[in-house]
Amino acid sequence: MRHAAAVQPEDQNLPKGFQRSRPLQDPKLGALWESIFLDETLKSQLLSQAMLNFTLRSKVDRSVIPLHGVILLVGPPGTGKTSLARGLAHRTAESFRGGNFRLLEVEPHALTSSAMGKTQRAVSDLFSQSIAEAAANGPTIVLLDEVETLAADRSKMSLEANPIDIHRATDAVLVQLDTLADQHPNLLFIATSNFPQAIDSAFTSRCDLVMQLPLPDREACSRILKDCLTGLSRTYPAISRLAGSAQFGGCAAECVGLDGRAIRKMVANALASSPQTAMNPEQVTIEDLFAAARAAKLSRVQGDKHK
């Protein structure tokens, strides 16, 4: 799992609700795009949809093509939704050289409050003031991680935890999306969610594209595992032998059912298979990888049973 980059000076004094702001292009985000092993057809569709946002919306009336400038990525945890979203922002900006794009990342939990009315006001201020102001200054991409926090399914709300305020916060998001779609065609939202069933259907209906990110198939598992071992071999050269092992294909097949993050963590578990290997990772064997993959899958199955 990648650790978030240290907050840069430009991120200081950001408006409430923003976690990070950065100019695009950003090669580090390009590396994230390359690190997510997804069917290239899906990647191409995703990039094309983002590009269309910045070519069509300023030229075609929304009564003809009602684009809202919203892409939603859904899928199980660990499938790379946030990394893919950040990488997509870079690739989109890269497609419009000299466009002075900016990526804003929203921290949804910073907007919620137990005090009646505060969540709604915070959401309205973020969209109508902070995001609108950024879009007025140039092409802007906004990452909405865990979007179900801001656009919760109103039909499933209970009478607990100020449901009226949460209901109104979702209302505010929908109203602001409509307003921003009308006023700022150079604005794109990329939203992510592990729980699409928890998102209000009115939000989903405003999305120009909803893409389901699947768990990696055998080929993708092989690519993720090989990428991880190749990266490790830059520090521990002897590990490179594992990617060329006759048993490598079987090991990759054993990983089917795990998400990309879990596969990389599984490799770390293999490196910790004994004190000797932990002290000298070059001693790791293909058998250690097999055992770690089986253990990771068993843990996942047991976890699913207890849900």
Q: Peptide bond preceding 19: is omega within 30 degrees of 0, i.e. cis?
A: no
List, for residues 253-278, the tens digit of each pLDDT value: 999 999 999 999 999 999 999 999 99
Burial class (CB in 10 A: 0-12, 13-18, 19+), 63: exposed
Q: Taking 50 as the threshold, does the pLDDT of residue 1 lie above it?
A: no
Residue with tokens 């409430």: 16
H-state helical runs in 208-255 = 218-233, 240-243, 248-254
pLDDT, position 30: 95
Model-level pTM? 0.87
Tokens at residue 90, please? 């870079």
223 shares a domain with 203: no
Q: Please report, for the domain that includes residue 156, its CATH number.
A: 3.40.50.300
Do 144 and 191 meet the contact criterion of CB atoms below 8 Å apart? yes
Residues in the chain: 307
127 shares a domain with 239: no
List, for residues 107-138, the tens digit of each pLDDT value: 887 776 655 557 788 888 999 999 999 999 99
Query: Is residue 306 domain-resident?
Result: no
Q: Sheet harboring 187-193: ordered strands across?
A: 18-24, 101-106, 140-144, 187-193, 70-74, 209-212
202 shares a domain with 225: no
127 shares a domain with 38: yes
* Domain stop point among 212, 235, 265: 212
Cβ-based neighbours of 197, under 8 Å, separated by 6 or more: 153
232 shares a domain with 207: no
257 shares a domain with 243: yes
Q: Which domain holds residue 54?
A: 9-212
List, for residues 167-219, the tens digit of each pLDDT value: 888 999 999 999 999 999 999 999 999 999 999 999 999 999 999 999 999 99
Please choose, from the candidates 23, 63, 24, 51, the residue with its C-alpha nearest in 3D space to the C-alpha of residue 181: 63
Query: Is residue 302 domain-resident?
Result: no
Query: Is residue 304 domain-resident?
Result: no
Domain count, the chain: 2
109 shares a domain with 20: yes
Local structure of 209: helix, strand or coil: strand
- Amino acid letter, residue 136: A
